Amino acid sequence: MPRNPVKSHLSKFSFTRSGKPVTCHTERFMLRSLRPANATPAYLSWIADPKVMTPLNMPARKLSLADLSNHISSFDNKNRYLIGMFDKQTGTHFGVYLVDSNQQHRLAKLSFLIGDQAFRGIGALRETAAGLIEQLFSAHEIEKIAAQVIVDNETSIAALEAIGFKREGTMRKEIRSFKPDGDRLDQYFYGLLREEWEKKQAR
């Protein structure tokens, strides 16, 4: 059995500064930059589902296919990436990663959601995140990956900590709730350093 299952599952990946799309393969899944053609009714249904959007502090919205297509087109695959998670066996698109890259500081900010309930609780987030993180560090010269999570989003917190992110602090009343009360919400700030990741993978 290989010592590093993440690297053994990883195949060809492209993540460059030139604005080219991302493609990444893990054992069970594929990640790639979304295209306007990926604006589908299933994707629209996630955006319209409060169970998916509320943990992200975003309102559920009913968008048109044209709205979603335009949203996907706004990502330049250079500084901002919208990356779809796909099941290799069926081709099902089941989630997305949003990556904001700051090359000056060699920092990437990561957000994610799994929209298709069938892919929750099977390790899909952990496997795909590991593949993406490996390449951010090894191929894109990123030195730190950060994520911000509302303090009561237990699912995302558990996922980040399982991957190896460290909680670095609490940002008090960092953002406003989208709900009518407009309360301000605390967020946890998580970070993962390249040397921490490399040490973990070498075990």
Q: What CATH number is given for 5-147 in this structure?
A: 3.40.630.30
Kindly report, residue by residue over 39-65, the tens digit of the pLDDT: 999 999 999 999 999 888 888 999 999
Model confidence at 102, pLDDT cuts 50, 70, 90, reads very high
Q: Given pLDDT bands bounded at 50, 70 and 90, which one contains residue 35?
A: very high
Token pair for residue 157? 């917190």
Per DSSP bridges, beta strands 107-114 and 93-102 are antiparallel
Strand order through the sheet with 144-150: 23-25, 29-33, 80-87, 93-102, 107-114, 144-150, 184-193, 166-176
- Residue among 92, 81, 132 nearest 116 (CA): 92
Is the pLDDT at 12 greater than 60? The verdict is no
| DSSP three-state, residue 30 | strand
Q: Backbone phi, then psi, for 140, in 5-degree steps?
A: -115, 5
Task: Sort strands 144-150 and 107-114 into parallel, antiparallel or unpaired.
Answer: parallel
Confidence of residue 182 (pLDDT cuts 50, 70, 90): confident
pLDDT score for 32: 94
SS3 117: helix
Higher pLDDT, 21 or 197: 197
pLDDT category at 88 given cuts 50, 70, 90 is very high
152 token code pair: 């009561």
Percent of the chain scored above 70 by pLDDT?
Answer: 91
Residue the block writes with tokens 């987030």: 125
CA-based nearest residue to 166, from 193, 187, 200? 193
pLDDT of 1 strictly over 60: no
| pLDDT attached to residue 17 | 44
